[in-house]
Amino acid sequence: MPLADFSLHSHTALITFANPPVNGLSHAVRAGLAAALARAAADPAVRAVVLAGAGGRFSAGADIREFNTPKATEQPTLRELIVQVEASAKPVVAAIAGTCLGGGLELALAAHYRVASADATLGLPEVKLGLIPGAGGTQRLPRLVGADRAISMITSGTPVPAAELAGTALLDQLVVGDPVPAALDLASSHQVRDTPPRRTCDMLLAEPDLSARCEAARARLASQSPHLPAPRRALEAIAASAGPFEAGLALERQAFLALLDSPESKALRYAFFAERTAGRIAGEQGAAAGRRIERAAVIGAGTMGAGIAVCFLNAGIPVWLIETDAAALERGVARIAGIFDAQVQKGRLDAGERERRRALLTPTLSLADAASADIAIEAVFESLEVKREVFLGLDRILRPGAILASNTSTLDLNLMASFTGRSQDVVGTHFFSPANVMRLLEVVRGAATAPEVLATALELGRRLGKVAVVSGVCDGFIGNRMLDPYFRQAWYLVEEGATPEQVDRAIERFGMAMGPFRVGDLVGNDVSWAIRQRRRAERPGYRCSTLPDRLCELGRFGQKAGGGWYDYPEGPRRPVPSPVVADLISRQREEVGIASRPVTDAEIVERLVYALVNEGARILEEGIAARASDIDVVYLTGYGFPAFRGGPMFHADRQGLAAVRGRLREFAQVLHGDPEFWRPAGLLDRLADSGGTFTGDA
C-alpha cells in the first residue's frame, strides 16, 4: 500500500495512510496526505473526504525514527497539514481506530467530523517527553471535550478509551469494529454534505472560570510533579483557549519550542529512546532466533515466585507453581488470587478474565510435574546451596532444549550453570519486586548461554510487558552492583553527621522515588546484611560501615519488624525518626572516632549519585553492560531514578565528566571510609580527559 492511498467511494474520497508499525506521521506520510487532500479538493466528483489509518489504527503521532532529524520539520509540517485539513472546503471525516495519539489526535481534531471504534484510545502524551502538544492540541481539545477533561488528558498524558469521550463534541459517532464504513456513511449524509464544514478553530470555549480551574490544577501539579515544567506550560496554553484561537496557537507554539530545549525534555526524550534500544544485541548474536515458550514453571511460591507466576498468567502462558511445602504453596496460591482480586476491585480486570488467568495456574509439590515446561525459573531463597539443589533437579527432569532460568539478584550465574549438564540453556531472569508490577527485567547472559536462549529470554521479557536489559555476570549484575556503593555512601554520610531522614529527604528532592534508608526498611535490612556478610567473606578488602550491621543486631529489620532506620507507629507508610537509631548513630560515631559535622544536601546528592556513576563506568569498562543507556534504563525502570534527569550516566554527562571526576578526587582526599572507593574508573578518566561522554550525542 502507498503511504497515502486514494480511492473513490461514490462521491467520497477515502484517504488511507500507512506507516507501520503505528502509522507515524513521517514526512513522507505528511506529503502523501497533503497531495491526496489537494487531489480531493481539485476533483469535482469528490464531495467529502474520509481520513483513515491502515492496519486497524489511526496514528500514534510523530514518527520516532525522524526525531532529531531535518525530516521532522520538513514541509509540509504537521501544523501545515492540519491547517490544510481544517481549511478544506469539502468536509473531512476522521475514522479513528486503534491508537490515536499525539500528532495523530491533533490531526483528527482538525477534521470536521470524527467517528471512532469503541475500543480506540485517544490521547496527547507529549508531557511524558517533557513537551506539550505543538500542533494545536491545547487549543482544539478544550473546545471539543471541555476544560476539565482537556486539563486531565493533556497534563497527565494518559490516553483514554474512546468510549469515555462519547457524548462530547470530539466524537460524532462511536461504533463497534471498523469505523471506516460508518465514516463513509456519515460523509455521504445530508448532515455533512448540505452544511458548511464545521471547523474546531471557529468554536468558542464558553467556560468563564477556566483561569481559576487552571490555577487549581497548577496547585495540584506543584505537589505531584514539581520538577516538570511541561504540565504547567500546558495549563498556560489551555487557559489561552478561552480567547482568540490564533493567539492561543501562538502561545502554545512558543511554549513548545521553549520546552524542546529544556533539560527535562532532553532527558525524557533520551530515556524514551534508551528504553527502545535496550535489549538489542549487536552482531550475529543479535540475529539468533528464539525458542518457543508455551508452558512455564516457577519454582518457589514466595513473594517473588508468586509475582513471576502472575506475569506469565497475565501473558496467557500456563504455569506450574512448585513448592516443597504444602503450607507455603497454599500461601503462594492465595497471594496470586489476592493480586487478581485487587485488580478486579480496581476495575482493571473483569471477573471472567480473572478466572481465565487463574485457570492457567497449576500448583504442585512435585518438581517432576514440570517436566514438559519450556522454561523453568527458580525463585527460591538467595542461597547458592539451595539454588544448586533446584538446578540439579531441573536438569534431571526438563526435556532437551528447555531453558533453566534463575531469578538470583547477586549470585554467580556461571557457577549455577556448572551444576547442570546444559550450561548453554541457562540464563538469568532477574525480576524486580513486586514482579507483577515492576517493569525491569535484567536478562543475565552467562559465559555459555546460547544466543538463541538469550534471544528467547529477551522476547519473553517483551511478551511479559517488561523492559529487558542484558547484563553480564558479576556480583549484583548492573542494578544491585551499583546499589552497593550507593548504600555504603549513605551509611558513611550518617556516620559523618547526617541523619537518615536528611539523606532520604535530600535524594528524594533530587527526584529519587525513595531514599536509601526508606528503601532498606521496605525491602528488609536483613537482606543487605546477609549480602554484606557474604561479600566480606569473599572479598578480604571489602570495606563498609558497621552501622547497618549493628542496626540488624538490634532486630530492626525494617517495616516487617515494626522498626528499622525509622519507627512506624502509624503503619508502614508513615516513617518517623527513631530515638533508638539516633542513640545507635551517636555511639557508632564515638566508637569509630568521628566528630559529627554539618552535611549539606548538595553533598549528599553528589556522593550518592556519583557513587552510582563511578560504578556504572566500571560496569561499562568491564563489558557487563553494552551501553551507558542500558544502565540508565535499569535505574529508571527498576530503582526509581528520576526520568527527568535521564538516568545516572546521562546526568553525569550533563554535569560534565571532568567536573564529576574532580569531585571524586576531592571526596577521596577529605572523606573517611575507603579512599580507593573514590578512585575514578578508567573509562571515566579517559572520557574526562578527552571531553567525551558516556551517552555520546544523546
The residues annotated as belonging to the active site are 106, 126
Give, as one character, the DSSP assignment of residue 42: H
First to last CA, the chain: 34
Backbone φ/ψ region at 93: left (φ over 0), alpha (ψ -120 to 50), beta? beta
Q: What is the DSSP letter of 622?
A: T
Cα of 582 vs its chain's centroid, Å: 37
Q: Are 614 and 678 in contact (CB under 8 A)?
A: yes
CB-neighbour burial class of residue 250 (10 A; exposed 0-12, middle 13-18, buried 19+): middle
User: How far is C-alpha 304 from the chain's CA centre?
Assistant: 20
- Quickly list DSSP for 153-204: HHHH---EEGGGGTTSTT-SEEESS-SHHHHHHHHTSHHHHTS----GGG--
Asked if 604 and 671 count as a contact pair (C-beta separation under 8 A), the reply is no
Partners of 471 in beta bridges: 444
Give the three-class secondary structure for 436. Answer: coil
Q: Are 17 and 4 in contact (CB under 8 A)?
A: yes
Only one residue has cell 525459573, namely 377
Q: Which residues pair with 256 in a beta bridge?
A: none
8 Å CB contact between 522 and 401: no
Q: Are 633 and 538 in contact (CB under 8 A)?
A: no
**261/79 Cα distance (integer angstroms):** 19
Question: For residue 458, how many other CB atoms are within 10 A of its CB?
Answer: 25
- Listed in sequence order, the residues at least 6 apart from 228 whose beta carbon sits closer than 8 Å to its beta carbon are 127, 130, 221, 264, 644
Beta-strand ranges (E) seen in 36-77 are 48-53
Q: Looking at the chain, how many residues does it have?
A: 698
Q: Would you tell me the crossing angle of helices 103-110 and 137-145 to the nearest 10 degrees?
A: 60
**Spatial CA neighbour of 133 closest among 76, 215, 61:** 61
Q: What are phi and psi of 609, to 5 degrees?
A: -70, -40
CA distance 431 to 446: 17
Q: At what angle do helices 137-145 and 245-260 cross, to 10 degrees?
A: 130
